[in-house]
Chains A and B, each alone.
Chain A
Amino acid sequence: MTAPPPATRILAAFAAGPLSAGNPAERATEVVGASLGGSLLGTTSPEAMRALVVFSEFGSTPQATILGPGRRAGVAWAARANALAASWVGMGDLQPVLGLRFGPSVVPAALAVAELNQLTVQRLREAVAVGLEVACRLASALGYAHAGRGWEPSCTCGAVGAAAAAGRLADLDQESMTAAIALAATQASGLAAAGREATSLLHARAAAVGVESAFLARSGFTAARAAIEGRRGMNALMAGEGRFDLLADGLGELWQMDSLIFNPHDCEARCHPAIELARRLPRAGQEIQEVVLEAPAVFLTHLDRPRPESMEEARESLQHQMALALLGSGGASAGDALASIRGRVRLVASPRGEGPVRLTVIQRGGRRWSLSAPELQLTSAGTWQGMPARLEAALPPTQFGTWHRIWERLRGPGGLSVASVIAS
């Protein structure tokens, strides 16, 4: 049997090494902006604040800021709190094919370390770009099989990405970065079955794992050098079919994180690939006879809700989101039509229980259209342009003002310190 490529060390070399001139700093800045907006928005939820209060009581040394309350806490606890809030509402970055969100783990980890170490916005951008890329590459390599085994890749791969970002800001060399990534990989966790509230807490955990792994590695703590690809490592136990070519090919030159979009739909992230497909199909309305959605089995397990009874359930119903997307504008108020199409959506587990997402719409008379996720291109609805307006609509005016002040400084030349930007 051929030994797998040294994925852990490949990611570490990339994360600790020099970046090519073409690194997507602009996309990284946007993900930071979206994540900060999410953190501020999350703190308007009393439920999120219950957890956030617990985090803020830890780490009594004030090292980094918890956005919203403005309270300072230990660096890992601030990262944990901001990640929880960023994940709570579900507004932010989106990896469109797998339906994953890495910003809520990577950005708060990087932000807290950058603030503690008095680093510049430019360093933050680079670290976030690296952390997101590591998470995207790892998620691609683990593939649908990872989610198929019950794990929430946004949190598992997010933890490794957070370690890469935090480690870069802690100036780890390649050897220490290998340890940081390995420590995060062996702690990577988060069961998708735990539900929405738990998932936000798992995002929070991923951010803290990233910070703690980086600090442990900086102190000289070591871990398995083949933590991802080893016979008893992350891939073997949590996925099984590691496509390490997707992890390594073009790393540092072709940036997967540059294809992140900003979720334009107010629903569970894993509905997004299907929605994006549905929006590309002709509006057939009442002419629809059947909608067949092929998706990884794990999507169907948690998102198969043909008759949602609340807005919360509708956000996690593939049938509802399909009906909304196929009806287009006005779909939300078309009660009977919505229910009718929901009833015609048939969910089918993808062959071998994995991806990609594939949507087929069959009209009366037999005409059919079909699209699958790899054909997906970025739509204008998913670009950054719409995000400030969405945040303005969602945030209380004072919070939006805070966000806007920070955003204006973040997207500037990059020489300001992150601490001064946060203080603004």
Chain B
Amino acid sequence: MEQVLETARGTGARGACPIPGREDRADCYFAAVATALAAHLDDFDDTHLESGNVHAGSVAMAATLGPGLLHRVSGPRYLAAFAIGCETMFRTGMALAPAHHEEGWQPSATVGPMASALACGLVLGLDRAPLTHAMALAASQPLGHRESFGTPAKALHPGLAAGSGILAALLARRGVEVDPLVFETRGGFFDALARRHHPEEVVSGLGQRWELLRNTYKPYPCGVVCHPAIDAALLIRQSLGSREPIAGVEIRCHALVTELVDRPQPDDGLQARFSVQHGVAAALLWGAAGLDEYEDRRVRDKEVRALRALTSLRVEPTFHREQAEVVVTLAAGRQFARQVKGARGSLERPLSEPDLTAKLEALTRRHLPGRAREIEAAVRSLKEAPDLDRLVQALTPPTPR
């Protein structure tokens, strides 16, 4: 985050747009880049599973917060733009899923630009024609390769997606026009991004069925495919009782786990977010897999390294992606096994209100200590708020950092 802000200063990106959790302000492009990056950096943000794990909140918030504040939009208008931005990301992601994600793209960054353009355009009050041009221009610049997973660039992708959408909306507002057929034309957006795609998903039931209501919230700050195994490991931890030495851990899982998060010895917290071995080891060793357990120093802890080294993965062809089994073998020979068929935080087992409040407190602890309730109240009041002042105030530290 510091490096992004240093880059903003180095490239002269001065402006009045807020960056949640920071005293710094920047122009609306760089503020959006920094906002979405921060929202996604811990891999703890919202996830829509059927769209190939699209994380829409980071992009939609970044696309609307700065422009919404500067243009003095009302809370309801902001919420509508935010919701439509999220819905656009989910539906476009579903049109590309699952091939797009499987081939190696990061869907939040490929479908993010056009959703950002639409959300920002709605905040700016654009009508249909410029909105179309803004979306088409933004759609011509999808980005984000999964090769970046485990590096800071992964979180930069949604930031850049949000920034490019804002810019497209501002250009369209000035009368810039581009070919709107980039989505469906041969060799266009869908063809370039997935060998198999289903564009009809974008419009099927649009306005009647809201995918936003099927968005999910993570209990652990790591790749969502790790979650069933972490759940299982936490259940075993409750049974283990005394700290008997562990001789081996086997994670039986869906094939996506080995594809996405098989990283036996991560070097730092970012890499650990894509290591199911770390998530399970943390759960078994410390009884938790929260933000603290993904700190760099915890990831490099000698004991957790040793436990990860004893962990193996086995793909179970019959398992669905919400399913995992963890088998722990103690040095004394006893075995503990737990299977989970629906992870915490999934649609089937959504987080409770107290869970969500606790998550907000954890997320705000570092930069906005004691602000969780104020932020929650400001968000809940948006549906009647005349502007975004209260929200931005709640998100801004009281003194210069």
Q: Does A189 lie within 8 Å of B185, measured CB to CB?
A: no
Q: Does A60 lie within 8 Å of B14, measured CB to CB?
A: yes
A59 within 8 A of B: yes
| Given A54-B170, A187-B160, A233:B147 Cβ within 8 A | yes
B residues 172-186 near A (Cβ < 8 Å) are 174-179, 181-182, 185-186
Of all chain A residues, the one with the shortest Cβ separation from B28 is A58
Q: Once the chains are docked, how many angstroms separate the CA of A221 from the CA of B188?
A: 32
Q: Does A188 lie within 8 Å of B11, measured CB to CB?
A: no
B62 within 8 A of A: no
| Given A149-B192, A186-B153, A221-B152, A51:B174 Cβ within 8 A | yes
Q: Which of B142, B146, B164, B176 contacts A51, CB < 8 Å?
A: B176
Q: Which of B151, B178, B186, B188 contacts A197, CB < 8 Å?
A: B178
Task: Please give the distance in Å from A400's CB to the nearest CB on chain B.
Answer: 27
Q: Does A222 lie within 8 Å of B153, measured CB to CB?
A: yes
Of all chain A residues, the one with the shortest Cβ separation from B150 is A224
Q: Does B12 lie within 8 Å of A63, measured CB to CB?
A: yes
Chain B residues within an 8 Å CB radius of A227: 145, 147-148, 153
Interface size class of B (residues with CB under 8 A): 35 or more
Of all chain B residues, the one with the shortest Cβ separation from A53 is B174
B171 within 8 A of A: yes
Q: Once the chains are docked, how many angstroms separate the CA of A183 from the CA of B181?
A: 29
Task: Please give the distance in Å from B272's CB to the nearest CB on chain A.
Answer: 16
Of the stretches A95-103, A198-206, A263-271, the one at the interface is A198-206
A332 within 8 A of B: no
Task: Please give the distance in Å from B98's CB to the nearest CB on chain A.
Answer: 15
| Given A191-B140, A193-B188, A186:B148 Cβ within 8 A | yes
Chain A residues within an 8 Å CB radius of B185: 193
A119 within 8 A of B: no
A423 within 8 A of B: no
Q: Does A58 lie within 8 Å of B27, measured CB to CB?
A: yes
A182 within 8 A of B: yes
Chain B residues within an 8 Å CB radius of A150: 187-188, 191-192
A398 within 8 A of B: no
A385 within 8 A of B: no
Q: Does B104 lie within 8 Å of A215, measured CB to CB?
A: no
Chain A residues within an 8 Å CB radius of B152: 221-223
Q: Does B151 lie within 8 Å of A205, measured CB to CB?
A: no
Q: Once the chains are docked, how many angstroms separate the CA of A167 from the CA of B150?
A: 23
| Given A201-B176, A212-B7, A222-B151, A60:B12 Cβ within 8 A | yes
| Given A150-B188, A298-B187, A195:B178 Cβ within 8 A | yes
Q: Does A192 lie within 8 Å of B151, measured CB to CB?
A: no
B141 within 8 A of A: yes
Q: Which of B143, B171, B179 contacts A189, CB < 8 Å?
A: B143
Chain A residues within an 8 Å CB radius of B13: 58-59, 61, 74, 76
B295 within 8 A of A: no
Q: Does A301 lie within 8 Å of B187, measured CB to CB?
A: yes
| Given A219-B10, A232-B145, A194:B174 Cβ within 8 A | no
Q: Once the chains are docked, how many angstroms separate the CA of A194 from the CA of B139?
A: 9
Q: Once the chains are docked, how many angstroms separate the CA of A223 from the CA of B157?
A: 11
Q: Once the chains are docked, how many angstroms separate the CA of A231 from the CA of B145?
A: 10
Of all chain B residues, the one with the shortest Cβ separation from A150 is B192
Return the CB mask of A216-234 against B: 1 if under 8 Å, else 0: 1011111110110011111
Q: Once the chains are docked, how many angstroms separate the CA of A224 from the CA of B152?
A: 9
B229 within 8 A of A: no
Return the CB mask of A69-104 against B: 1 if under 8 Å, else 0: 000011111000000000000000000000000000
Q: Does A190 lie within 8 Å of B27, measured CB to CB?
A: no
B15 within 8 A of A: yes
Task: Please give the distance in Å from B194's CB to the nearest CB on chain A.
Answer: 11
Q: Does B103 lie within 8 Å of A197, measured CB to CB?
A: no
Chain B residues within an 8 Å CB radius of A190: 140-141
Chain A residues within an 8 Å CB radius of B220: none
Chain B residues within an 8 Å CB radius of A51: 171, 174, 176
A416 within 8 A of B: no
Q: Does B145 lie within 8 Å of A237, measured CB to CB?
A: yes
Q: Does B188 lie within 8 Å of A234, measured CB to CB?
A: no
Chain B residues within an 8 Å CB radius of A223: 148, 151-153, 156
Of all chain A residues, the one with the shortest Cβ separation from B110 is A189
- Identify which of A191, A215, A298 gathers the most chain B CB atoms within 10 Å of its CB: A191
Q: Does A192 lie within 8 Å of B15, measured CB to CB?
A: no
B137 within 8 A of A: yes
| Given A150-B188, A221-B3, A221-B7, A194:B144 Cβ within 8 A | no
Q: Does B171 lie within 8 Å of A54, measured CB to CB?
A: yes
Of all chain A residues, the one with the shortest Cβ separation from B113 is A189
Return the CB mask of A402-421 against B: 1 if under 8 Å, else 0: 00000000000000000000
A144 within 8 A of B: no
Task: Please give the distance in Å from B308's CB to the nearest CB on chain A.
Answer: 22
B29 within 8 A of A: yes
B82 within 8 A of A: no
B360 within 8 A of A: no
Of all chain A residues, the one with the shortest Cβ separation from B27 is A58
B189 within 8 A of A: yes
Chain B residues within an 8 Å CB radius of A63: 11-12
B355 within 8 A of A: no
Q: Which of B7, B147, B174, B175 contacts A231, CB < 8 Å?
A: B147
Interface residues of A (CB under 8 A from B): 47, 50-51, 53-54, 58-63, 73-77, 149-151, 182-183, 185-195, 197-198, 201-202, 205, 211-212, 215-216, 218-224, 226-227, 230-234, 236-237, 298, 301-302
A-B contact list, 8 entries, CB within 8 Å: A195-B178, A195-B182, A211-B11, A216-B4, A219-B2, A219-B10, A233-B147, A237-B105
